[in-house]
Chain A
């Protein structure tokens, strides 16, 4: 069975501070990992996926298979980064996406 754990329900930082949103996963095979974001009153949208190895809006995430983690990081948080962040895992032939419970990030001025 696949599982995604986001240990922090809430995370609050000040503008300009580094931010790290934690994500750990459980899956016996090779999963695809994603971060989705939901800004206030907007629909859920893809932020980044590990296979792309790209930086979006200053965020990066590295897949660590040894620690089964896919933490999301940004060196300098901005107020517009305040949103709900979901880590997600896709695996298996039916492309089922399993979401973590989400972390609400608040960036204070």
Chain B
């Protein structure tokens, strides 16, 4: 019954590897987001898709590539992982059309790069 789900919950990998994180929402929302939470708990938007179209693309290294196969899914692929990529990555969704709409967050994926 989970609204926004992410897999995996934990990801430990070596520097230089390529990895993906998956996100799915069953709320019928048309907008999905990826956020990065660093070790100091600072949350920053990375990407946003509305109806499978990229609408926010912050200054993120192009090693990060989001992919939205449909409105309910937004995956994050990371190439050539670096130590600084270690963080918690949160997926979120909302119903677009209004800036005051609530965003619903997933449980997060804790990525550790060794």
Measured CB to CB, the residues of A under 8 A from B are 31-32, 34, 43-46, 49, 51, 84, 86, 90-92, 94-99, 101-102, 104
- CB-based nearest B residue for A49: B100
In the complex, what residue of chain B is closest to A94 when comparing beta carbons? B55
Tell me whether A91 and B99 are in contact (CB under 8 A): yes
Chain B interface (Cβ < 8 Å from any Cβ of A): 4, 31, 33, 40-45, 48, 50, 55-56, 90, 92, 94, 96, 98-108
Asked if A96 and B40 make an inter-chain contact with CB atoms under 8 angstroms apart, the answer reads: no
- Cβ contact within 8 Å between B100 and A94: no
* Residue contact B56 to A94, C-beta cutoff 8 Å: yes
A-B interface pairs (CB < 8 A), number? 55
- Assembled-state Cα–Cα distance A84/B92 (Å): 18
23 contacting pairs across A/B (C-beta < 8 A): A32-B100, A43-B105, A43-B106, A43-B108, A44-B90, A44-B92, A44-B105, A46-B102, A49-B100, A90-B99, A92-B99, A94-B48, A94-B50, A94-B55, A95-B31, A95-B94, A95-B101, A96-B45, A96-B48, A96-B56, A97-B45, A97-B103, A101-B40
Contact B48 A99 (CB under 8 A): no
Closest chain B residue, CB of each to CB of A98: B45
Residues of B within 8 A of A43 (CB): 4, 90, 105-108
Q: In the complex, which residue of chain A has the Cβ closest to the Cβ of B108?
A: A43
